[in-house]
Amino acid sequence: MPRIALLVLLLLPTLASANPALRPDGLVFDAVVAPDGRLSAPLYLTRRGEYFAELLLERDAAGRRPADLPFAGEVRVLRREKPVFTRDFSTDLGADQPAATLFRVTTDRELPLKTPLTLVLDGAGAPPAGATLRLQVRLKPNPGSYFLR
């Protein structure tokens, strides 16, 4: 029995680094939005739970706070080029509110697990000069379920 425990302890860091869904902060997707407000990138969800997507307006290279940015559009999750999930959004990003949640979804109910998906963002708005828009998808933390899934 101690050998098995030792093997698990040795393999755990390797498994965690190979699977982004096992990161302590829950980050499973992180991409910079193009200057025209569009993004298309692969998404692969490996764990059951609630995922949420956030749009972040980052500071420019000089560290200045960006100007307000009204940003609206549509976010879609595709499976084999067919929409599985679609959500329209409208938000105002800026110094007071640098992040906005675009959607929350639950796997097995709204999105399939362990299936190649494509995350598409079609936005109307460009970030201010020097600032960057970033889209992140995270798994909502669920303490105590690390070894149950």
pLDDT tens sequence across 85-119? 999 999 988 878 889 999 999 988 888 989 999 99
Q: Confirm whether 5 is domain-assigned.
A: no
pLDDT in tens, 69-88: 888 999 999 999 999 999 99
Instruction: Kindly state whether residue 43 falls inside one of the protein's structural domains.
Output: yes
Alpha-carbon gap, residue 6 to 94, rounded angstroms: 49
Residue 86's CATH number: 2.60.290.11
DSSP code for 21? G
Residue 126 confidence (pLDDT) above 80: no
Into how many domains does the chain fold? Answer: 1
Q: Compare 66 and 17 and report the one with higher pLDDT.
A: 66
Residues forming a β-bridge with 124: 72
- On whether the CB atoms of residues 105 and 86 are closer than 8 A, the answer is no
pLDDT > 70 in the chain, percent: 74
8 domain-assigned:
no
Question: Over the chain, what is the mean pLDDT?
Answer: 79
Kindly report the pTM of this predicted structure: 0.74
Domain assignment of residue 50, yes or no: yes
Name the E strands within 2-147: 27-32, 38-43, 50-58, 69-79, 82-93, 99-106, 117-124, 132-139
In a domain, 3, yes or no: no
Identify which of 28, 11, 31, 12 has the alpha carbon closest to the alpha carbon of residue 20: 28
| Residue recorded with tokens 């000089």 | 62
- The residue segments making up the domain with residue 49 are 24-139
Domain presence at residue 149: no
Helix (H), strand (E) at residue 64 = none
DSSP 8-state secondary structure symbol assigned to residue 37: S
Given a contact cutoff of 8 angstroms between Cβ atoms, the answer to whether 72 and 124 are in contact is yes
